[in-house]
Each structure stands twice: as C-alpha cells, then as structure tokens.
Structure 1
Amino acid sequence: MSTIRTQRPHHRVWPKRLPLALTVPATSLWFNLEVAAQRYPDKVAYRFFGRELSFSMLRAQALALAGWLQSVGVESGDRVALYLQNCPQFIVAYYAILRANAVVVPVNPMNKVEELSYQLDDAQARVLICAADLTPIAQAANATLAPEQQLRELLVTRYSDAMPAPADLHPAEAPSPEIDAWLRSAPPLATGYRRWLEVLDLALSPGPHDAQADDLVMLQYTSGTTGHPKGCMHTHRSLMSNAVSGSWTQSTVESVGLGVVPFFHITGLVCFVLRAVFDATSTVIMPRWDRELAGRLISRHRVTHWTCIPTMIIDLFASPNYQGFELSSLVHINGGGAAMPEAVAQRLREEFGLTFLEGYGLTETAAASHGNPPERAKLQCLGMPFFGVDSRVVDPQTLKELEPGQVGEIITFGPMLFKGYWRNPEATAAAFVEFEGKRFLRTGDLGHMDEEGYFFLTDRLKRMINSSGFKVWPAEVEALLFKHPAVHEACVIAARDAYRGETVKALVVLRSEAVGRTRPQQIIDWAREHMAAYKVPRLLEFVDSLPKSGSGKVMWRVLQEREASPP
C-alpha cells in the first residue's frame, strides 16, 4: 500500500465508501485469470459479434498459446509484440505472453512500416502476433531490420477466427458490409508464417509460471518531443494497482462493459484486458467505432459501463436512430483524453441521468492517476488523485508547490508509476523529480487544483496535439514528413477542430525543384501511406519560410500562437 499524506485537500471530500489506498496483490497478472477461470468457468468473459468466450476457454487458449511461444524459444523477459485491433485474440495473446513469463509490447495497429520497424527494433521483439490484414506491413517492417534483429516467428490471425459464420450473425450484432469484409479478409501468407487456429490446435503445455510482481511485464510505447517513441516499462505490480480499482466505478461481477476504446492503448488495456479479468466482468468487444453498432450492442447486451472518448458520445447523439436505442442499462460513462463539451455533458444528464466522469492519466501512470468519483463529479475537470496517488502543482522551474488556483506543472506519485523508459536512462532521469523524499513523475501538463483538491488541465508544457483523445507528437510527424522528397522543412502545429477538438496542421517549405510541381494533397496522400492515420495532417499549407530563433531552431510557438489567434 502506498504511503500518502492524509491531510491532502481531496481527502476531505473523498467518497466514504472507498479506502484512500488499495492493497495491491503481490502476484503476477496471470494469476488474475487463474482465479477468474476457477471461480466463474462458464461465465462469459468476452463477446465478439455474438460469439462468446468464457473465462475457462480464455484460460485454455492462453495456455495453449503460451506453450507454443515457449516451444519456439520465447524465454522469461523476452518481448512479444501484439499488432491487432480489439478482438478476443488480443486478450488471449496478452495472457499467453504473461503465462510464458515474457513481456508484452502492444503496437498501434494504425502504425505503418517505419513506425512498426522502429518499435520492433527498439523493443528487440522476436515474435509478432498480428492480424491478417497487417501482414504486408509486418513483412515489410521486418525486412528493414538487420538480420540478427529480425523476427523469429510471425503468428497471424483473421478477426473472423473468433467470429460466428455470417449465417449465424444476429442482425443486432452484424457489422456494416465494409467492416465485415475487412474482418473476414484472408490475404495470402508467405511461407513460414504460423496461423492462429493451427497453433491453438497444437494444445502445447507451457512450463512453470514463475513471474514475480516486480518483474517487467509490458513495454507500452509513447511518443515524445524528440520524435522517437519511448517504451514505458511497467511491472505486474504497477499495472495491478489500477487493475484492482473497479470499486471506483461501482462495478460488480454482473457488470457489462463496452470494449471499444483501443486495447493497444493504456486506457483500453487496463479497463478491458486487465480490470475486466480481475473483476470477472463481461465485455462486449468492438474492433472499430461504429455508432449504429454501438447503439445496438448496448441495447442488446444491457451494457452498464462504457469507457469512451467524448467524440463517441457526440457521434452517437448524431445518429438518426439514437432515440430507438435502449440505453437505460448504462450506469457509468467515463473517459478522458479530451474535454467533454459542456453542452453535450448537459444533454447526457438531461436525457439519461448520467454524468460523464472525466479522468486523467498517462501511459507512464498505467492509465488513471486522477478521476471524478461518481457521487461527486465536476465537469471539465480531471478529478481528484486516484487510490494511493499523491499529486501536486508546482512551479516548473523551482519545483516549489503552488497554492490552490495557481497554475503550474502537475507532478504525481503512486503505486501505478512506471519504472522508466526502456533503454533510455536520460529520458528516465528527466521524467522524475525528488519531492518531499518521493520520486514524482513530471507530467509535462500545466494545471491547477481547487480548494477541494480537484485538478484542472490548463495547458501543456510539452508540445503535443490532442485529436479525439489520440496524442500526436509534432516532432514525430515532422520527422516522417522530412522523408518526403519534396519537403525541405516542416513544422507541425495544432489547429482547432469542432469535432476532434484539435487536428494536425503542417506548415511546409518545399524544396526549390518541387515548387509549383507539388500540391498539398499529394503530401497528405503520401503521409497516409507512411504514418498512422491519426497523425496524418488534415491541413497542409505551403510557406516560403519558417520563423527561426538566433540558434536556428524553428519557433513553433510563434506559429502555434498565430494559429490560435482569432481570425
């Protein structure tokens, strides 16, 4: 249990039903599945377009896959990458990697060749488990690696491996024809690739499970100001601290969640891969957002808990069919990543009696470090520090703690903190600061705290764009744009967007030979082929030059302030 100061302001309004901190189990995350499968063997753990996966079936498949991983040479501490959209195979693979005493490396399935290649190389992954439609990208990325760094094995699954046959789909569960075609796609595979169902059919048994609570269990990559993604090192214990926090959301073993936020992202992973198993709740999986399908699934399966981003609720309200959806089962809606517009929050309260519970967290904090308690939520607010968490607002230069209402950098300490950045001691050292004898994380976010200990986000110290909850780091996009043969210089900034909150805008100086011969749309189209979709500039403007400081650095703040100024 974390040692926390009992006189922090939020403790005066802390929910009486909850302890200030939780005692975190000193076991591996795999043990949570063992317990759930023993207690509730026949209970539905996950539903995917109507096909059910029980806890006992989840355990059996994970054991078989763990046995195969060990049979191909995966040893304790080895990194195994997952390159999948939301699907049951993601959960099976995640727990199989845990059972094999190995380390999970979730990869954004929107990543293109350059992005995947970097992550596989940096993590030194030797096995990749991916979706069939992503195998061309995986193959191309692997080919860019040095021979000694290339993958030993590539295991491929079709999403339809976990789906019912088309004739068995209930109309309420049916995806759109376009999504159904994507889910059932089966591109030809190169010789030597392993197929998911064939591996499970081998039913190999793994050796002993001996991972300990403080062993490395996951490298979750987050980008940064340098343009190079960094692997956040999490242990079983740091992830467990938020996996056991279901009491905050008032969930019970009978709760049903809608698993639509990405599992590769820390929020979806903690909520629907880890916490759902610890609490033995049921999850309805959606591989991609589709407002009509979401409305039907909530209605059909009586979903009680929905973790989402505000744009999903805005989109659902925009459906011409939303009045016909049966949403009365919902008792808890929460999320983060982007502020909920006040008008939408008010509509949610008036029509459904629900308060959108905003929270705050980072990859480095295993998702939530702050949250709004259901019984005392504040709108457009990060909430109060979570179980066992101590957060402060300090002057970014002097690190002196500031009074309520004063804006400074948010720093945080708690049991959920990562151990550092993989193979990057310099970045690790810069991320932490000693404060009152404890190792606090510098979040890089500017905010303030009110008299009751609730935190509010004001601005960012770090250069980052928040588009519908996806974090886009301009330096990473710039580094990729520089690879375009027509680009001489580029500066990426945030532009206002009524739907996404912010969107990506690129200001580009063309090479002399490309002037008059290159159109903005050509570079945007090229970007779609070379970077994840959410990073692609939606706006691109050619400029003659970029403002620079005396040292030659691009003055991006000048451009950002100019963009933010009223027209």
Structure 2
Amino acid sequence: MTTAESATHPPSDAPSAGDDRPHARVWPARVPRTIQPPQTSLWFNLEVSARRYPDKAATVFFDRVMTYPELQRQAERIAAWLAARGVRRGDRVILFLQNCPQFIVAYYGILRANAVVVPVNPMNKADELGHYITDPQARVAIAAADLAPALCAADAALPPEQRLRDLLVLHYRDAMPDDAFDGEAVPPAWREWLATRHPLPTLTHGQVADWAQALACTDPLPPHEVGPDDLAVLPYTSGTTGLPKGCMHPHRTLMHNAVAAAVWTNGTAENVGLLVVPMFHITGMVAGMHTSVYLGATAVIMPRWDRDLAGRLISRWRVTHWTNIPTMVIDLLASPHFDHYDLSSLVFIGGGGAAMPAAVAQRLQDQFGLRYVEGYGLTETAAPSHHNPPDRPKPQCLGVPFIGCDARIVDPDTLQELPVGQAGEIVVSGPMVFDGYWQRPEATAAVFFERDGKRFFRTGDLGRMDEEGYFFITDRLKRMINASGYKVWPAEVEALMFRHPAIAEACVIGVPDPYRGETVKAVVVLRHEARGRVSEADIIAWCHEHMAVYKAPRIVEFVESLPKSGSGKVMWRLLQEAARASAGAA
C-alpha cells in the first residue's frame, strides 16, 4: 500500500463497506471489521518478536525448545548461505519437508534473502516433483534427507537447462533433543524414520550441502529489500486441467490473514499452539506459523499426525490453541488412552477442510466446554475467507466473511448476486486474495471479475447464505475431491494413472467415506491384453508408488467402458452420482 492509499484507508474500527450485510448483526463486538496490518515484509515479524522476547520459546519439537533469537540467527545464516549460492531478489526456492523447526528457519531464511518460498507437499513422489522445479524455474531447493532422493530423481529426468543448481539437505533428528528416543516421546512407528542418518544424495548437475554447513556460513547478509507488494510465497493448487498452478501471494496477503487470525481468536504472545496442520499447506503456513511468529507465541510442532503424541503434547505444554482438521479430533477422542490426557488448557479449537460431525462437536462442548469453530478458505485466499465467530459458531458451517472480506453468493452464469437462502457460487474480495496464477494469465482472468469497484475471486464452490450472514457449502462447480481436508484434483490423478501400461481409460471420482468425508475412487477400463492379468489391488499399489498417498485411489472398479457425451467427453458426474447413490443405499 502506498502512502497515499494509507492516508485514505479507514481506521480498523471504522464501519466497513459490508456493514449493511446480514453478518454485521452477529459480528463479534471485540473484533474490528477491517485491520491495518504492518506494511512490511513478513521477515520483520520474526525480527520484532526476537527483540521483544529474547528468552521465549518460538518452537518446541519433541521437548527441545528453540528461542526466538535462535530462530532469527539460524534464519539469517540460511539467508546468507542462499545469497552466497547466487539467490537474488524474487528467485524461487523449493521447500520440501515435513513440519519441523527447520521448516520455519528455512522459510524465513528464504524471505530474508529477498526470495520466494515454493512449498511442496512432502507426500509427492518423483513422478510429480518435476513440475515444481520447472514451473517456478527454481534453481535451489531445501529438502529433508528422507525426501531429497525423490527430488534428485525428478531433477535427473529434466533437461539440463531446467535442473537444480543447489540442494540443501537437513535431518529432523538435528532439531530433536539428544535423549529423544529414550522414552515414549517418539512414536514407535516413527523411530527409524526420524533416527536414520541418510547420506547426502547427488544432483546430476548441481551441488548438495548439509544443513550444518549452511548454518556455519559466515558470509554477510544481503540487504533486506522486499516489501508488502513483493512476492513471498508460491503455493501450488491443482485444478480441472491437471497440472498444479502456483498462487502468487505477496507479503501483504499473508500478513493480513496472519494478523487477522490473531485478532479473531483473541491471540496473544502467551498462546501455545499445537502446529500439526502441515506448514506446506496454506492453513498451517498462515494461521499456524505466521500468526505464531507475529504474536511471539510458542508453536509445539508435530511432524505428522499421531493421536497419542498429540494428547501428550497438549497435556505437557498446556496447549491453548489447536487448529486442525476434524478427522484429527475424531481420532484423538477415539484413543484408548484418551482419559490420560488433559485438554483443560485449550481455549480455542477449530479448523476446516471437512465438516465436523455434530456428535463429535457436541462431545467437545459437553466434556470440555469447547465450541469447535469451523472456517473456510482456499490456497488463493491465504487460508480463511470465512470463519465462524468463536463465541457464536454454527455447526457444519463455513462461518461469516472474515475480517476485511466481502463475500457474496452469485449466479454462476450471470454473476449477479442472489438473495438470502438461494444457492449459487461463493465469490470473495479482500486483502487476503492472491494476485493471480504464476505465468497463467488466462487462468487468472477466468477466476476474477469486477463488481462495485472490487475485484472478486470465484471460488468454484456452491453455497448459500442464511439470514444472519453465515455461509454454508452445498456443492462444487470445480471437479474436486475433499479427503480429510486434502484437496484431490481428479484430472491430476488421471494424468498420472494414464502412465500405467495396463490402463486404457480412467475416470477419478469422489465417493462418501465415513471417516475421510470423501475418498478417491477410480473407474478404470483396462487395455484388452491386460484384462485378467491386472487386478484392482495391482492398480492401487501402483498408484501408491507413483503419487502422494492422499491422491491415490483407495477404490478401483474395472468397467468395460466409460459413459461419454456426444462430444466424446467422459461423463464423470454421472459416475459420481451413481457411486454416491449406491453408498447412500448401503
């Protein structure tokens, strides 16, 4: 925002343009309608918190504490190493690892080096990873040691001019206490994964360095030159056309929602958050990591989900805030050891990605006095565009438009606003909305339109708004599957499946699942010569080898042919409706 724009921007407690909308009547009295977040890069949030809280725990990882000054020091060393390796302003750097303190160090180190973070889902396999190197034109990557070989394999398959130049490799073990494996802190199934010391992999035409080597870099820091309008992160989201697209988020969009999430949940520096939602994903990144650093709060980090570890950590560290997906809560409540855990410190519990079952929400209310607070957002909206008021949530509801957001229900064809109660497409405008898709001007133009002097983003989700301004999702315009909060795009899965030599045709659909909400099913036509030789289990096993586990079909059905329209297009919706009807009857 320029100085002139700042001068005309209304103060945070001034009436907003949306005051005449229904949700104005239920808006929390303590929460401003709009905010003025810091007009800086995200890096300064870490710098400020490190100066304010020199002895405070920034992260906890298997009981090892990293203070804010140490987090800043390590991030600065990573920034110096990146600069020494030729990373310059605006360059894209891949970040490929599970949740751990090094994720935050590397992320902020990339920002301090004036570069752009490209977070990559650690579940992706070599067949999927090449796109994340070539599309953002990344030349440097930071990866966990157990994941780095897959990245190197993807790199080796690329033309020489598109390959990585440098790879920095880390071990989660290095952020854990020396005695981490002596007691019950590490789940048994994780011990080999976390304890193994992997040799450094080899890049075909690049150099590989160890994390300790980068932390020991003595080169000077480059000047910090980026501001709120510079590109900060390029998270990828898939779509109907198959290949994932990079969402261009400058510092200001993430800054807005990081600050707004703190305001919405009564956040203070005394927050202790359980950070288990993946930080490569926009929710964990913004509402988890960035909000915590902005507040100077403490993040208790889990590298993966484990219900009993979560119960122990909430009890041990007196966790106050837990953002999650409903399946995590369901799993924790089902633990045979649940009675041993103390959840009394929790003051906020909420999340999204799937609806929270009413019975589970009621148990939280009855047993702990906790209201589960659901929210809604997309990668394109820097996590929440909608959120339930913590003191007045509605069950299985997206919530009301978030701080600074103007959300409406429009006719998908005419884009005209629809009356209360009528279903249409959810569209949003606000300071959290991304700038557009990386190097995809046509895709960007297709999802934006102008109305009332504002730029609205078309979510592709169908919903309705009730008389109090709460939004409810009813269906999707986009062809997408939501499995335990993970977004699965059928076209991407189909493109990978077509590489199987036995598959002639495949149609991927979402079917109801009592635990995941939806699960992935593939309807497959085998090549003639493969019939009787290849089983459904063979296809499922192959998919698990070649794509992220959450994308891989859990159900495969062989058919003689797929239904097609007169123009030859596969009628996926017909298959999906038939599968859902069958599940409903069962």
Query: Where on the TM-score scale, by shorter chain, does this alignment land: which range?
Result: over 0.9
Name which of 190, 201, 214 aligns with 1:190: 201
Contact 1:132 1:185 in 2 (8 A): no
Q: Would the aligned equivalents of 1:214 and 1:236 in 2 still touch at CA under 8 Å? A: yes
CA distance in 2, matches of 1:283, 1:188: 30
Conserved in 1, the CA contact under 8 Å of 2:62 and 2:180? no
Please give the alpha-carbon distance, in whole angstroms, between the structure 1 residues aligned to 2:81 and 2:126: 27
Q: Give the C-alpha shift of residue 168 in structure 1.
A: 5.2
Equivalent in the alignment of 2:521: 505
Give the distance between the partners of 1:528 and 1:193, measured in 2 at CA: 28
Counterpart contact for 1:50–1:169, Cα < 8 Å:
no
Distance (Å, rounded) in 1 between the aligned partners of 2:46 and 2:334 = 39
With normalisation by structure 2, the TM-score equals 0.95
Distance 1:272 1:60 in 2: 21
- Is 1:518 the counterpart of 2:534 in the alignment? yes
* Aligned position for 2:76: 63
Q: Give the whole-Å Cα distance in 2 for the aligned partners of 1:452 and 1:211.
A: 41
Render the CA deviation track for 1:25-52: whole Å, top value 9, x for unaligned.
Answer: 1100001111001101210000000111
> What CA deviation, in whole Å up to 9, does each residue of 1:60-90 have, x standing for no partner?
0000010000000000000000000000000
Pick from 448, 451, 462: which aligns with 2:478?
Answer: 462
User: What's the secondary structure of 1:193's corresponding residue?
Assistant: strand
Distance change in 2, residues 1:169/1:50 (3 Å): farther
Matches of 1:64 and 1:437, distance apart in 2: 44
Establish whether residue 323 from structure 1 lines up as the match of residue 339 from structure 2: yes
The amino acid that maps onto 1:254 is E
**Residue number in structure 2 paired with 1:6:** 19
Structure 2 counterpart of 1:399: 415
Matched, 1:35 2:48: yes
Question: Partners of 2:434 and 2:526 in 1: how far apart?
Answer: 41
Q: Residue 553 of structure 2 aligns to which amino acid in structure 1?
A: P
Structure 1 residue 203, shift from structure 2 partner? 3.7
Partner of 1:564: 580
SS state at 1:334 partner: strand
Would the aligned equivalents of 1:50 and 1:170 in 2 still touch at CA under 8 Å?
Answer: no
Deviation sequence 1:417-473 (CA, Å, 0-9, x none): 100000101100001111222110000000000111110111111111110000101
Which AA in structure 2 matches 1:200? L
SS in 1 for 2:133: helix
- 1:179 match: 190
Match for residue 162 of structure 1? Answer: 175
Query: Over residues 246-285 of structure 1, what are the superposed CA-to-partner deviations in whole Å (9 max), with x where a residue is unaligned?
Result: 0211121111000000000000000222110001110100
Instruction: Please report how far the alpha carbon of residue 180 of structure 1 lies from its aligned counterpart in structure 2 after TM superposition.
Output: 2.1
Alignment counterpart, residue 263 of structure 2, candidates 247, 253, 272: 247
Find the aligned partners of 1:147 and 1:343 in 2 and give their Cα distance: 55
Whole-angstrom distance in 2 between the partners of 1:254 and 1:148? 49
Report Cα offsets for 1:201-242 as digits up to 9, x if no partner.
224331100101101111010010111100000000111110
Q: 2:45 aligned with 1:45, yes or no?
A: no
Gaps of 5+ in 2: 1-8, 11-15
Contact 2:481 2:509 survives alignment (8 Å):
yes
Counterpart residue number, 2:5: none
1:486 equivalent among 481, 502, 509: 502
Among 329, 334, 343, the alignment partner of 1:313 is: 329
TM-score (norm 1): 0.98
CA distance in 1, matches of 2:523, 2:224: 52
Match of 1:238 in 2: 253
| Alignment match, 2:449 | 433
In 1: Cα distance, 2:218 partner to 2:493 partner: 43
Give the 5 Å matches for 1:108-507.
108-165=121-178, 167=179, 171=183, 174-190=185-201, 192-245=207-260, 246-507=262-523
Match of residue 90 from structure 2? 77
Could you say which residue in structure 1 is the equivalent of 2:105?
92
Q: Report the 3-state secondary structure (helix = DSSP H, G, I; strand = E; otherwise coil) of the residue aligned with 1:434.
A: strand
Between the aligned partners of 1:503 and 1:198, the Cα distance in structure 2 is 43
Deviations 1:170-221 (A, max 9, x none): 746x111221220122222235410001210224331100101101111010
1:485-531 Cα shifts (integer Å, max 9, x gaps): 00000000111111111100000000111011111111111111110
- Report the CA distance between 1:146 and its aligned residue: 1.4
Count of aligned pairs between the two proteins: 565
Q: Which amino acid aligns with 1:195?
A: D
Given that residues 49 and 169 in structure 1 are in contact (C-alpha distance below 8 angstroms), is that contact kept between their aligned partners in structure 2?
A: no
Q: Distance in 1 between matches of 2:459 and 2:187?
A: 40
**Aligned match of 2:33 in 4, 9, 20?**
20
- Cα 1:168–1:555, aligned 2, differ >3 Å: closer, same or farther? closer
Aligned with 2:525: secondary structure? strand
| 8 Å contact kept, 1:508–1:541 | yes
In the alignment, the residues of structure 1 paired with residue 381 and residue 373 of structure 2 have an alpha-carbon distance, to the nearest angstrom, of 18
**Residue 142 and residue 161 in structure 1: after superposition, are their counterparts in 2 closer, same or farther (change >3 A)?**
same
Give the conservation status (yes or no) of the 8 Å contact 2:462–2:474. yes
Question: Distance between the aligned counterparts of 2:446 and 2:253, measured in 1?
Answer: 20
**Amino acid in structure 1 at the alignment position of 2:532:** G
Secondary structure of residue in 2 paired with 1:503: strand
SS at match of 1:370: strand
In the alignment, residue 178 of structure 1 is paired with which amino acid? A
Per-residue Cα deviation, 1:371-396 (whole angstroms, up to 9, x for no partner): 01111111111000011100000111
